[in-house]
Amino acid sequence: MSQLVRLRAELREACLARGIKLSYMPFMVKAASMALLHFPILNSSIDTVAETITYKASHNIALAMDTPLGLMVPNIKGVQGLSVFEIAIELNRLQQLGSAGKLSTADLSGGTFSLSNIGSIGGTYAKPVILSPQVAIGALGKMVTVPRYSSSGELKPAQMMYVSWSADHRSEERRVG
């Protein structure tokens, strides 16, 4: 996370000049999408009645959000085709709508993979609950500073984040079986 901290600091002012708050979440959303390219089974849905798995072409990353109306899980659609900046714009839009209690059905439907930021409330680890019919969810813990040795043996502070995740094992069984 140390390199991400530096990168965000470099980009933050340029984003603010465009009216966009750049948090770490757009980077994490993009990283999740890139991982889904390598593990497409995690971007699928399961139908237990029909005993089928449907792989989703679009990465519609859903984000758990605390709103005045309670927990809502809107999603950023087509993340695989978006830049980090475009993700930040969409995330800002969803956060503003969520704070105003005005998320639409379109914003809340169609998620294919979820992320929960438990770090925003100080959490480190979690057992995230899968939002059916999705088959996986990730939980991002609080970023912490830890001591690490550099390649030259010098002790330096480093930023680290734990990521917890849950997956429906039945998706893998059906794929293999």
pLDDT digits (tens, 9 = 90+) for 59-113: 999 999 989 999 999 999 999 999 999 999 999 999 999 999 999 999 999 999 9
Q: Considering only residues 171 and 37, tell me which one the structure prediction assigns the higher pLDDT.
A: 37
- CA distances to 91, 116, 126 from 41, rounded to whole Å, are 25, 19, 22
With a cut of 80, say whether residue 147 has pLDDT above it.
yes
Per-residue pLDDT, 174 = 47
Per-residue pLDDT, 176 = 42
Whole-number average pLDDT of the chain = 90
110 strand-pairing partners: none
pLDDT in tens, 116-131: 988 777 777 788 888 8
Q: Considering only residues 149 and 168, tell me which one the structure prediction assigns the higher pLDDT.
A: 149
Per-residue pLDDT, 171 = 57
Per-residue pLDDT, 80 = 97
Burial of 41 (0-12, 13-18, 19+ CB in 10 A): middle
Q: Which of 169, 170, 173, 176 is catalytic?
A: 169
Is 38 designated active site?
A: no
Threshold 0.85, pTM exceeds? yes
Per-residue pLDDT, 63 = 96
Length of the chain: 177
Q: Give alpha helix (H) positions in 18-141.
A: 25-38, 84-99, 105-108
